[in-house]
Amino acid sequence: MGVMPADETRLGAVLRAWRERLGPAAVGLPVGGARRAVGLRREELSGLAGISVDYLVRLEQGRAESPSPQVVAALARALRLTNTERDHLYRLARLVPPIDGEISDHIPPGVRRVLSRLGDTAVAVFAADWQLIWWNRGWAALLGDPSSTPPALRNFARDNFSVNGDGPRLAQWPVTSSISHETIEAAIVSDLRRATGRFPNNSRLTDLIHVLTAGNQRFAELWAAGAVGAHREAKKTIEHPGVGPIMVDCDVMTDGDAELKIVILTAAPGTEDETKLRRASCPESPIPLLAEVSDSAVAPDLEAELPEPASASAVRNASRNAP
């Protein structure tokens, strides 16, 4: 395998590659006439970014390698970079990437399309602070409908660390985990600390940390330890009142830029747990245990099932110790 030349990974080469991949139509410029340039011309990019053509030439040729933060921000906007690409551009310029201050509850269209194709698979989406912001009917059928819990309390961390004697609110029946409750608590706290590094000025996250630190001694102790990490997956057993205990895998996937956490509960194929899970998700269609079951579940209507921003509490209850 060949080694990529160092020049191809430097600031100038990366800027040129990003300029050449962006067509004029993508930035609202006319596309008429013959064009020898691939992508945007230098004068077009310089005009969009508000810098001189000469300075852009020097940047691309490596004769200028230390642009100011203002220039880098302008280039990132003009080149329509993603947050990850923007951060890479800052690092190539030997600058510290900006820190986005707000946690987003927005679910991107692409993620929504993926969710809509999961049918009745139990799925919920949490924001970076473990606030439950969306769930489908499969989730509600398996764990109980979170809409009965006030939006402010739909938070996975709050569900694991009680304040003022409040217990779990989102799972309407018992849920146990394959890992210890202490391990789950430590993972949640370390994940929240990681979130404070990514969103240090977010008021909702700051308020959550304050409430839990002041109101729960266990949380305060773990927070003082300073561990940083991520909460990912485990096996859960849900004591469903309609079909009995169901063992599920709880997997957590993350949407990079916004730090959304997509929590999916599934059972091993061909097992009695899978059949119970199907029965719990479709109670109106009785399915015999261990019977062959059709996979023709209809995908839920995302817009219809997107209640007011929920919280991360559902998961926690959904796993008494969440994802």
pTM for this entry: 0.65
- DSSP three-state, residue 234: strand
d(Cα 284, Cα 280) in Å, to the nearest integer? 9
Higher pLDDT, 52 or 312: 52
Give the three-class secondary structure for 250.
strand
What pLDDT does 257 receive?
67
What is the per-residue pLDDT across 275-287, written as a single tens digit (0 to 9) for each? Answer: 999 999 876 654 4
Mean pLDDT, the chain, integer: 82
Q: What is the pLDDT of residue 285?
A: 52
Q: In the predicted model, what is the mean pLDDT of residues 160-169?
A: 83
> Could you tell me which residues are beta bridge partners of residue 130?
none
Would you state the pLDDT for residue 213?
96
* Owner of token pair 């209809």: 298
Q: What pLDDT score was predicted for residue 5?
A: 44
Residue 319: band (very low, low, confident or very high) from pLDDT cuts 50, 70, 90 = very low
Which of 54-63, 132-141, 195-204 bottoms out in mean pLDDT, i.e. has the lowest?
Answer: 195-204
**How large is the average pLDDT for residues 36-58?**
89
| Per-residue model confidence (pLDDT) at position 284 | 60
pLDDT in tens, 57-114: 999 999 988 899 889 988 998 898 888 888 899 999 999 887 767 888 888 888 888 9
pLDDT at res. 307: 40
pLDDT in tens, 219-274: 999 999 988 887 777 899 999 999 999 999 999 998 866 789 999 999 999 999 99
- The pLDDT value given to residue 33: 66
Cα separation, 242 vs 279, whole angstroms: 9
The alpha carbon of 323 is separated from its chain's Cα centroid by a whole number of angstroms, namely 13
Tell me the HSE value of 232 on the side-chain side, using a 13 A CA sphere.
2
How far apart CA 142 and CA 124 sit, in angstroms, is: 12
